[in-house]
Amino acid sequence: MDVNKIISELESRHPGEVEYLQAVREVLDSIEETYNENPHFESMGIIKRLVEPDKVFMFKVPWQDDRGEVHVNIGYRIQFSNVIGPYKGGLRFHPSVNLSILKFLAFEQIFKNSLTSLAMGGAKGGSDFNPKGKSDTEIMRFCHAFMQGLWKHIGPNTDVPAGDIGVGAKEIGYLFGMYKKMTDEHTGVLTGKGIAWGGSLIRPEATGFGAVYFTQEMLQKRGDSIKGKRVAVSGFGNVAWGVAKKVAELGGKVVTLSGPDGFIYDEEGITEDKIDYMLELRTSNEDIVKPYSFEYAGSKFYQDKKPWEIACDIAIPCATQNELDGNDALSLVENGCICIAEGANMPCTPEAIEVFQKNQVLFAPGKAVNAGGVATSGLEMSQNAMKLNWTEEEVDSKLQHIMQQIHLECVKYGTDDTGYIDYVKGANIAGFLKVANAMVDTGLI
């Protein structure tokens, strides 16, 4: 495989899609050796076929605001690969959404879903709609209009969307309502549903909990644990909230949160009512973290700055792609950080990853660390298909088991001669092999 050639061909076909090319390059660089050891992959054109999505849907989403003004957004769904199961992945509502971002996310999702060991293919979708400052009725009208464009392309055995940035339980409710009306069917077509109408216990917490379970595994491998550790977290959304809850439960201390306005430093730790307050902040419609510093004396707000300048033992970036660059990585390492686990999708730039790996600190990629979210979505699909509900304990123990297995796979494929575990390589090879073998088994389609 010639990685540069594949990337330059992809670039000429999709000029300017930088996030998509960044994600593809990272995977190809890590699987190159394994790929070349299996010549039948090349003769089946596995890489050529895998780097292009199966299908890309784009649709117009016209909707009316509370004053009666008409707006038009673009809706997308990228169905990247369904070789190991129905297309599966979240929907993102954020003004930055474009084809490049959704293709990177859908591509990553193929390998993440493969790592979960459940039967799910890779997909992603969303819209450039900005939920910030919108009323509940505006959100409802937008979600209904969005689903009118999407419903024909999805189904419980075809493609099962879920939440991501800007899409939580409320939005999933409105989307599900319109799907049900269009099809007259009450099926598990979306995950992250409310408990009363088909949702799974633990799904809201699952991404953050899973990320902490994975971090715990990384530390345990070195004879260490989360107990007593200072943890820097970015974002203040669904993933950051789940991380804060589980870190506190395991005796660690989350000392930062961040939003588009800057970050909060709370030396005493973000615990108990402060964690609940995160939910209030998230739903306040203002989307800023500054009010936390008014609510809790002793905490400090740093405007237009990132949390990575604070001394910590563990860093878990949970906001968005490319939010932690090479300089941030240097400052974390210099301040004694021993472990970085990506809660968000691709939050660390390639330069940052290089810094972590050169300094041999623990670093694990989003497709392994945050896979607990989609894994629990998979558990929601199973419960829907069986028409049964598992208890909180049952779901949580399955989630823990899945995260431990993903960690073992990373160790199996990522350990080098010196004993250092390259989790990026491990996750990419383990995720890729299952998909590639399935593509071989099912032939050229």
Contact 56, 46 (CB under 8 A): no
By a kind-dependent CB cut-off of 5 to 8 A, residue 344 interacts, out of ligand NDP, ligand 2IT, none, with ligand NDP
Task: Identify the residue among 30, 256, 258, 377 touching ligand 2IT (CB under 6 A).
Answer: 377
Which residues are CB-neighbours of 311 under 8 A, at least 6 positions away?
230, 335, 336, 337
Binding flags for ligand NDP, 364-403, as an x/- string (CB under 6 A): ------x--x------------------------------
Task: Identify the residue among 80, 236, 263, 265 touching ligand NDP (CB under 6 A).
Answer: 236
Shortest reach from residue 126's CB to ligand 2IT, in Å: 10
Q: How would you write 342-396 as a 3-class SS string?
A: CCCCCCECHHHHHHHHHCCCEEECHHHHCHHHHHHHHHHHHHHHHCCCCCHHHHH
**How far is the C-alpha of 396 from the C-alpha of 394, rounded, in Å?**
6
**CB closer to ligand NDP out of 165 and 314:** 165
**CB closer to ligand NDP out of 36 and 283:** 283
Task: Identify the residue among 148, 321, 345, 428 touching ligand 2IT (CB under 6 A).
Answer: 345
Contact 61, 129 (CB under 8 A): yes
Contact 86, 121 (CB under 8 A): yes
Rule CB under 6 A: say whether 191 interacts with ligand NDP: no
Contact 32, 3 (CB under 8 A): yes
Identity of residue 7: I
Give the DSSP letter string of 287-303.
--STHHHHHSTTEEEEE
Binding flags for ligand NDP, 305-344, as an x/- string (CB under 6 A): -------------xxx----------------------xx
**How far is the C-alpha of 85 from the C-alpha of 440, rounded, in Å?**
15
Nearest to 408 by CA among 208, 218, 211, 210: 218
Rule CB under 6 A: say whether 403 interacts with ligand 2IT: no
Rule CB under 6 A: say whether 113 interacts with ligand NDP: no
**CB closer to ligand 2IT out of 252 and 373:** 373
Of 124, 193, 253, 367, which one is the catalytic site residue?
124
Shortest reach from residue 55's CB to ligand 2IT, in Å: 17
Shortest reach from residue 98's CB to ligand 2IT, in Å: 17
253 has catalytic annotation: no
Binding flags for ligand 2IT, 109-148, as an x/- string (CB under 6 A): ---x------------------------------------
Task: Identify the residue among 81, 127, 191, 258 touching ligand 2IT (CB under 6 A).
Answer: 191
Q: Where would I find the H helices in 230-313?
A: 238-249, 273-282, 291-295
The dihedrals phi and psi of 135, each to the nearest 5 degrees, come to: -75, 165
Vertex 103: Cα angle to 102 and 109 (nearest 5) = 90
Which among 1-9, 232-240, 384-392, 404-412 is the span making contact with ligand NDP, rule CB under 6 A?
Answer: 232-240
Rule CB under 6 A: say whether 164 interacts with ligand 2IT: yes
**How far is the C-alpha of 430 from the C-alpha of 437, rounded, in Å?**
11
Shortest reach from residue 221's CB to ligand 2IT, in Å: 24
Residue with tokens 């050891």: 37
The tokens describing 227, both together, are 């107990």
Give contact residues for ligand NDP (rule: CB under 6 A).
Answer: 94, 96, 163-166, 207, 235-239, 259-260, 287, 318-320, 343-345, 370, 373
Residues with a catalytic annotation lie at 124
Q: Which residues contact ligand 2IT by CB under 6 A?
A: 88-90, 112, 162, 164, 191, 345, 373-374, 377
